[in-house]
């Protein structure tokens, strides 16, 4: 049996959360031409984003690719962000998603560091990818809930 690949704790977090933020914002409005690989394509239906989220999450957890984990969670975040902006407005969506991101990312990074980090500052890549993907999905869902609260309060 081979030993699992390990990745720096800081590198795993940077790759996953960077990809999550980029794809959440860029893919929420693909008609603006921000979402790779195709410039300026019409918004696909929501099930496409959910399928991409699940597929990328499964691939990332199998291979230990943290950037793909962030991409998968960002696909789910994109469709939720677009719907939240339409329902609650841009301000409430921005506040809700930002607060959810900070809280979930901070908690997950603390957990990942406390539970999985070894003496060398590295974590198992598979576990890191799986946990960061789940945290990104939680941040997307939490962003919707918090945006509803902000919209109700303002």
Q: Is the pLDDT of residue 37 over 60?
A: no
pLDDT for 1: 44
Dihedral sign of CA atoms 22, 97, 53, 135 in order:
positive
Per domain, the residue ranges of the chain are 6-153
Residue 58 near residue 120, CB atoms below 8 Å: no
- Stretch 16-26: mean pLDDT: 85
Phi and psi at residue 153, to the nearest 5°: -75, -25
Separation CA 27–CA 132 (nearest Å): 19
pLDDT for 71: 87
- Stretch 11-40: mean pLDDT: 73
Percent of the chain with pLDDT over 90: 17
Return the structure tokens found at 100.
């959810």
Summarised one tens digit per residue, pLDDT across range 83-129 is 888 888 889 999 999 999 999 988 988 888 888 888 888 888 888 88
Indicate the SS3 state at residue 85.
helix
Q: What does pLDDT average to over the chain?
A: 84
Residue 130 near residue 69, CB atoms below 8 Å: yes
Q: What share of the chain is helix, strand, coil (3-state, %, to 5)?
A: 75, 5, 20
Please tell me the pTM assigned to this model. Answer: 0.82
């Amino acid at each position: 049996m081979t030993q699992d690949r390990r990745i720096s704790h800081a590198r795993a977090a940077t790759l996953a959360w960077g990809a999550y933020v980029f794809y959440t914002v860029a893919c929420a409005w693909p008609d603006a031409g921000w979402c790779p690989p195709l410039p300026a394509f019409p918004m696909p239906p929501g099930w496409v984003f959910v399928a991409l989220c699940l597929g990328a999450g499964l691939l990332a957890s199998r291979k230990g690719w943290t950037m793909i984990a962030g991409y998968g969670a960002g696909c789910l975040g994109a469709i939720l962000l677009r719907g939240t902006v339409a329902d609650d407005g841009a301000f409430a969506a921005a506040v809700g998603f930002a607060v959810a991101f900070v809280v979930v990312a901070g908690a997950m990074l603390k957990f990942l560091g406390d539970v999985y980090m070894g003496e060398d500052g590295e974590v198992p890549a598979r576990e890191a990818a799986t946990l960061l993907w789940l945290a990104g999905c939680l941040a997307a869902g939490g962003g919707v809930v918090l945006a509803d609260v902000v919209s109700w309060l303002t």
